[in-house]
Chain A
Amino acid sequence: MGVKDGRSFHEMNYESGCDSCHDNGIRVRPSDDACEACHDVDDLAEATTREGEEALQNPHDNLHYGKETPCTECHGEHEAKAPLCSECHTFKFDAHKR
């Protein structure tokens, strides 16, 4: 918690203060749509499109939850996270870092 070792492209958020992400107060997790201030779910879904039989494995638009999986289920800013899918599936997301 609170360790400033997030993503390099989030530097500007660190510079402009914790509350630029932590919209519910500093010691509380940000709301599920906090990331959407900068990131667009439709754009993300397009960027991670998968083809054919893998189409529904698009993490940003998937079989089980569509486009509604909260970002922090798979991504952590101050902690490393694994994709939610890996709880049941063995398929790979090579571009997923944390």
Chain B
Amino acid sequence: MSNVDLLGRRKFITGLGIAGAAAATPFAMPALASSVSAEGVKWDKTIDIAIIGSGFAGLAAGIEAKRQGAKDVTIFEKMPVFGGNSAINGGLFAAPGTPMQQEKGVTDSVETMVADQMKSGRGIADEGLLRHVAEHAMEALQMTLDAGSVYHPYLQQLGGHSVPRTYQTTVSCGAGITQPLLKQCRKEGVETENRVKFAGFVLDKTGKVEGVKLIKGYYFGEEDSGKPYYVRTNRGVIMATGGFAQNVNLRMAQDPTLTAEVGCTNAKGATGEGMFEMFRLGAVPVHMAHIQSGPWASPDEGGFGYVSNYSIFNFPHSIAINRMTGQRFMNEIADRKTRADAELNCRDGNGDPLPPIMITSWEHAKQHPNAKKVLKYGVGWKFDTLEELAKHFDVPVKALKQQIEEYNGYVKAGVDKQFGKNMGKAKGKYIEAPYGVVRLWPKVHYCQGGVQITKKAEVLDSFSGAPIQGLYAAGEVTGGVHGISRLGSCSIPECMVMGMTAARSIMGA
């Protein structure tokens, strides 16, 4: 990432229109919060468990807490809408040993899934946590199925996974999970409050977390809005506040190339204050500089949009082409970091970004529910001939023709001599007219870094090495689980399993 020419990006973003305009708004640092002593605090309310954040981790924690017998459980959400970043993510869920794998004759195991993730983690992922998540992933998937989530009838094999093990909601979005889980939470008696911002922990004399200071009636972006609201927790607090990909200052502090002009797939609320507060309390920061960009994103739309899922689905049987050369430049299903770095190297003669293109046979592309949408909303294109395609994107047509012939030979042979791509999912899928095309450019997507936790979702204290009493954390706010690069579809199982784990730990299950 260090070779990114920021000036080039700046010039490039000016031509982006809507997506660039949204991304170019610098984010103000949130107002500072601070933990206080419980002495003299007037509690507005006493409950069993406070859950901060309403994404996958918070919702799973809420449901599990009730099932373990917790009485008063409330989920507090900073934003006006529930679901956090989870409600706008891709809805991709990896689990080993699932009914669909059995049905399709896919051999998989906890060990295999962990091994795939360890490889992508480049030696610094947390094997124990990954194993814990993989062991319970099916349980989490079942929780979503019981709540009413519906999945496509096929499995996908995402970049870096050695076998197809990924379910995806039929709506191709995390909302296909957050909406049913939110309903389930309420059905089981979990209270949900929106526009309530976490503002710090309240500690008893021994340093145990006795409750939280919140701001009720908070309007995102209006830091003076709302009123303090003190909630005492009999059993504990579960921090499920997500990542900080939208906090430009913080992400640039870790990786100066991730300026305000680099897009972001995340919900606006992913700003990291909850994580900051845990650091202040003594939590251990892990892997903060490992911030992942999604290699399947498009510069032609904002956020995760429609193209991301379209690309994720199509990469195995598509080619990614550098428009300067007309040649492939990467293994289209390598892990996310490998691909994002390769895309960032696609530049024009002046060194300015030149987003590469992904070419798919329309016959295969149209199998994805978003195929029609990318055309309809002007973020994807369809061409009847290679000449038209090459002219539109200013690609040397002769080189491109040659490359496609060469690649189709790899499809036939089942071996990619150029980049060593696993051709299993490309079997019989030649690149032929008509063609579907989207443009690719990475967007900041996921923070591998966060607070250190145990396999019980406890947050460790940097001074004592012991868990901070009354405090648990789950999901993207935690760090070190995935190492340098998280594999796609491994966040939802992690969030849900660790959310459930936090609830079980709190309830002594």
Contacts and interface: CB of A to CB of B under 8 A. Distances in A.
A72 B194 CA distance: 14
A69 B81 contact: yes
Interface stretch (B198-206, B372-380, B411-419, B420-428): B372-380
A70 B219 CA distance: 12
B81 A68 contact: yes
B80 A32 contact: yes
Interface in B281-327: 301-306
A33 to B, nearest CB: 11
Interface stretch (A13-21, A34-42, A82-90): A82-90
Contact of A90 (B175, B217, B369, B377): B377
A3 to B, nearest CB: 18
Contacts of B179: 64-66
Interface string A76-98: 00000000001111110000000
B303 A90 contact: no
Interface residues of B, number: 30
A29 interface: yes
A88 B304 contact: yes
Contact of B305 (A24, A69, A89): A89
Contacts of B304: 88
A65 B83 contact: yes
Interface residues of A, number: 21
A53 interface: yes
Contact of A89 (B219, B302, B369): B302
A64 B179 CA distance: 7
Contact of B80 (A24, A28, A73, A89): A73
A45 interface: no
A41 to B, nearest CB: 14
Contacts of A91: 377
A48 to B, nearest CB: 17
Nearest to A70: B80
B81 A88 contact: no
A53 B88 contact: no
B390 interface: no
Contacts of A86: 18, 302
A67 to B, nearest CB: 11
B49 interface: no
A26 interface: no
The 5 residue pairs across chains A and B that have the minimum distance between CB atoms = A88-B303, A64-B175, A88-B302, A90-B377, A65-B81
Given A28-B217, A87-B303, A89-B377, 13 more contacts: A53-B373, A64-B83, A64-B87, A64-B173, A65-B87, A65-B179, A69-B80, A73-B80, A87-B268, A87-B302, A88-B301, A90-B18, A90-B379
5 contacts: A53-B372, A63-B171, A89-B302, A89-B305, A90-B378
Interface of B: 18, 22, 80-83, 87-88, 171, 173, 175, 179, 194-195, 217, 219, 225, 268, 301-306, 369, 372-373, 377-379
